[in-house]
Amino acid sequence: MDDDLRATRNVLSIHHVCPTVPEVFELDVVVQFNQGVFARIDDHVRRPSMIDMSDQQATKSPETGVIQRRRGIDPESLQPVQGQLYHLCGPGRAGKSMRCIAEHWVTHALAQGDVVHWVDGACRIDPSRFIPGLEVLGADVEACLARLYLSRGFTVHQLDRQIERLPHEMAITKAPLIVVDGLLAMHGDDAVSRLESRMLLRRHVRILRKLAEQHRTAVIAITGTLRSHQVDARLLRHLHRHAQNHLEGRWTGRQRRRRLLLHHPRTGRRGLWRPFEDMSQTRFRLTLRDINRWTENPSARALALRHQDE
């Protein structure tokens, strides 16, 4: 019993709140780029999950304990899986609010040394948005951006051509992640009839699903919601039926406090999107030599009275 009390006294707990890492911000800079020739042949690695986010998890050691107190949703529980078509839908033009989630996954994939294909169907790609996230992860920015292959379609027929050649490019790069941003943005063109638009979308979904199953890659399609402007409900429902995974988002709060609230229907998870926020508290245990150690237990003894003449 005394040993337990002594061990309890010798442990000193200090609670320390870790500072938050700055979030990835957006830059209103337009970067023009051209298509280039690329080639990379390597062995395909199969993983249960597409992206390894172990660096975001708190490490535990015998001298340090970590208490997780995350207010937002866990990004690791939402990451894409190889062999699936992942549908991201949210507010904004062609799902603009959900683009930050795809950029977060692409940043981690590039930092791991993987190749990523990004098909821009909404004419809004900006490679400079990946730089802050790569710097936070400590990766080589120039080398990572060299592994990001971008293509942009200004019409629905150009987008169709880019999606059609993805299987041929995948045979060379073997990329584990493909992002198609604004898949339905070009389908609202007045020059394209609704019948042709539905036929093209069915063809796009068929190619993307076949690409995900054959090459074991994760395909992400970003679209708007039914409340968004210029979104055909029939096209959106068709994509929703054929996608194996879904992630829905909406804005909550006002002005500066506006945050993106996510809902994952498969797992039922809900929470705010705060990928780089670390609200964990760290508890440090000091060693015995850093504090005053009690050599013996306190005790009370009867003292004998002695007179001076004795």
Asked if the model's pLDDT at residue 196 lies above 80, the reply is: yes
Report the distance separating Cα 261 and Cα 248, nearest Å. 8
What's the count of helices (H) and strands (E) in the chain, helices before strands?
8, 11
Distances (CA, A) of 147 to 13, 88, 116, 201: 46, 23, 7, 28
Res 57: pLDDT: 42
Q: Is the dihedral of CA 287, 293, 296, 300 positive or negative?
A: negative
Asked if the model's pLDDT at residue 2 lies above 60, the reply is: no
**Percent of the chain scoring above 70 in pLDDT:** 65
Mean of pLDDT over the chain: 75
Can you read off the two tokens belonging to residue 22?
């700055």
Report the distance separating Cα 17 and Cα 279, nearest Å. 7
Higher pLDDT, 19 or 296: 296
Report the distance separating Cα 147 and Cα 40, nearest Å. 10
pLDDT digits (tens, 9 = 90+) for 266-276: 888 888 888 76
Report the distance separating Cα 186 and Cα 184, nearest Å. 6
| DSSP state for residue 61 in the 8-state scheme | B
Report the distance separating Cα 156 and Cα 177, nearest Å. 22
Pairing outcome for strands 177-181 and 116-120: parallel
Give every strand in the sheet of 64-67, ordered side by side.
Answer: 13-17, 281-285, 64-67
CA 118 to chain centre: 16
Average pLDDT of the residues in 280-306: 54
Report the distance separating Cα 112 and Cα 134, nearest Å. 10
Band of the pLDDT at 179, cuts 50, 70, 90? very high
Where along the chain do its domains lie? 81-285
Three-class DSSP category at 261: strand
Amino acid identity at 110 = L
Can you read off the two tokens belonging to residue 150?
């971008």
Asked if the model's pLDDT at residue 200 lies above 90, the reply is: yes
Asked if the model's pLDDT at residue 202 lies above 70, the reply is: yes
Res 37: pLDDT: 31
Res 92: pLDDT: 86
Asked if the model's pLDDT at residue 7 lies above 50, the reply is: no
pLDDT digits (tens, 9 = 90+) for 94-120: 888 999 999 999 999 999 999 999 999
Asked if the model's pLDDT at residue 146 lies above 50, the reply is: yes
Band of the pLDDT at 33, cuts 50, 70, 90? very low
Band of the pLDDT at 303, cuts 50, 70, 90? low
Band of the pLDDT at 77, cuts 50, 70, 90? confident
Asked if the model's pLDDT at residue 121 lies above 80, the reply is: yes
Average pLDDT of the residues in 303-309: 57
- Which CATH architecture best describes the domain 81-285? 3-Layer(aba) Sandwich (3.40)
pLDDT digits (tens, 9 = 90+) for 205-230: 999 999 999 999 999 999 988 877 67
